[in-house]
Amino acid sequence: MWYYIFALLMIKFLSKVKGNDLGKTAVVRLDFNTEDDWRMRTAVPTLKFLIKRGCKVLVLSHKGRPKGVDKKLSLNKNAKKLSGFLGKPVKFIPHFNFGEIREILEKAKPGSVFVLENIRFLKEEYENSSVLAKNLASLGCFYVNEGFPISHRKDASVSAITKFLPSYGGFQLEKEISNLSKIIKKPARPLLIILGGGKAGDKLGLLKFFERRADKFLVGGEPANTLLWIKGVDIGESIAEKDNRRAFLPILKFRKLLLPIDYHIQSKKILDIGPKTEKLFALEVARARTLIWNGPLGLFEKRRFEKGSMAIARAIVSNKKCFSLAGGGETVMFLRKYGFFDKFNFVSTGGGAMLEFLAGEKLPGIEALNKSKVKSLKPKLQVKN
Ligand code: 3PG
Ligand code: MG
């Protein structure tokens, strides 16, 4: 926990930059990896800040997990969307010819914005390659990480790049660290954790970290199905991480664990919590003073199975004494769809990154900013192609 308090002091955040003492060209890592545009929106203040200071901006992002070039995962459309948010043209660069990109940037006017093609088209990105990082670094004078959701990945444009450029944290990244660390440091009690959705295994770290710190765990979705199945409950054909039995077994021993007691079932699958569980969970929510929510409690995309998540969201927003935090792609989509979004105290842009942060792990992207000591070193271009 102290690690992140220390990080808040150590990292150079854009919010602390006075005047125009940044370089001319910024290489900015964002995360466009969601079906909706919410993550992109959260990066707008950082981009506008840089544009206002006359910086040329080169945006890097990934989408999906491509192995090589996959045109379906091109960032072309994202560049257009970003242009709408910024109210100015955004040029898309469809290739990785670094010499050419450097020339484009050199010729560009101050305040121009460019989006480079999906950086995961290059396998070196996943490998945290120093060669790729140097090439990317050679395109700018400083680097900004405004991609909290990707900060749990040790990728070249998140981690290695900070070895070659003076590196800053963006506005949203700063908000994420400060809000999430507050919860780890001294949460008001009772502290309640609500978990649902899919990817049950991703939630294990958080469950274990908070075993003694949280006062109650309310579990639905795939993690609940997995636990119910281990308990011997007939879950029919519901999704469950049966391969993860061993890892989930100790969770069943948590005294503070509440599992669904009734469900809505269709085609032999549990698709939502039932009315008794809604009441049971809502009672706990009403008592909470801090609450973390990751993962809807039912398949809310279908109207019939949105009730459980709706009941819990209503209970959360009507508890005015509670600091409410939510995160994760599906949860955010749910909150936005039903108008709960603005009623939460903080909504994290991170999915896996938020879970890892809250589980007390060091995120490689934040670690890299913490360690980056580069002042104004500009590496020589290493053109590979
Ligand atoms: C996310 O959407 O969680 C981030 O963009 C990270 O993507 P990844 O899980 O494919 O690394
Ligand atoms: Mg993920």
What secondary structure does DSSP assign to 51-100, as a single string?
A: HHTT-EEEEE---S--SS--GGG-SHHHHHHHHHHHTS-EEEE----HHH
Catalytic: 153? no
pLDDT for the residue numbered 183: 86
Active-site annotation holder among 199, 203, 216, 307: 199
Ligand 1 atom nearest to 155, measured from its CA: 11
- Digitized pLDDT (tens) for each residue of the chain, 385 residues in all: 677 777 787 899 999 887 666 768 999 999 999 878 999 999 999 999 999 999 999 999 999 999 999 999 999 999 999 999 999 999 999 999 999 999 999 999 999 999 999 999 999 999 999 999 999 999 999 999 999 999 999 999 999 999 999 999 999 999 999 999 988 888 999 999 999 999 999 999 999 999 999 999 999 999 999 999 999 999 999 999 999 999 999 999 999 999 999 999 999 999 999 999 999 999 999 999 999 999 999 999 999 999 999 999 999 999 999 999 999 989 999 999 999 999 999 999 998 899 999 988 999 999 999 998 776 545 555 555 4
Nearest atom within ligand 1 for CA of residue 31: 5
- Nearest listed ligand to the Cα of residue 119: 1
Q: How far is the CA of 325 from the centre of ligand 2 (A)?
A: 18
- Give nearest CA residue, ligand 1 atom 9: 352
Contact 364, 152 (CB under 8 A): yes
Q: How far apart are CA 98 and CA 87, in angstroms?
A: 27
pLDDT for residue 227: 98
SS3 361: coil
Render the burial of 168-179: b for 16+ CB within 10 Å, e for the rest: bbbbbbbbbbee
pLDDT at 10: 85
Q: Ligand nearest 30 Cα, by number?
A: 1
What's the residue count for the chain?
Answer: 385
Distance, CA of 230 to CA of 228 (rounded, Å): 5
pTM recorded for the entire structure = 0.90
* 3-state secondary structure (DSSP) of residue 194: strand
Q: What is the DSSP letter of 226?
A: H
Atom nearest to 34 CA in ligand 1: 2
- Among 329, 350, 351, 365, the active-site one is 329
Q: How far apart are the first and last CA of the chain?
A: 43
The reply to whether 205 belongs to the active site is no
**Counting Cβ atoms within 10 Å, is residue 221 exposed (0-12), middle (13-18) or buried (19+)?**
buried
Which of the 8 DSSP states describes residue 201?
A: G
Instruction: Supply φ then ψ for residue 286, to 5 degrees.
Output: -65, -25
20, 54 contact by CB (below 8 A): yes
Instruction: Please list every protein residue whose CB sits less than 6 Å from any atom of ligand 1.
Output: 31, 33, 65, 149-150, 153, 351-352
* Torsion angles phi and psi, residue 169, rounded to 5: -100, 140
User: How confident is the model at residue 87, as a pLDDT?
Assistant: 97
CB 259 within 8 A of CB 219: yes
Query: Residue 1: its pLDDT value, please?
Result: 63
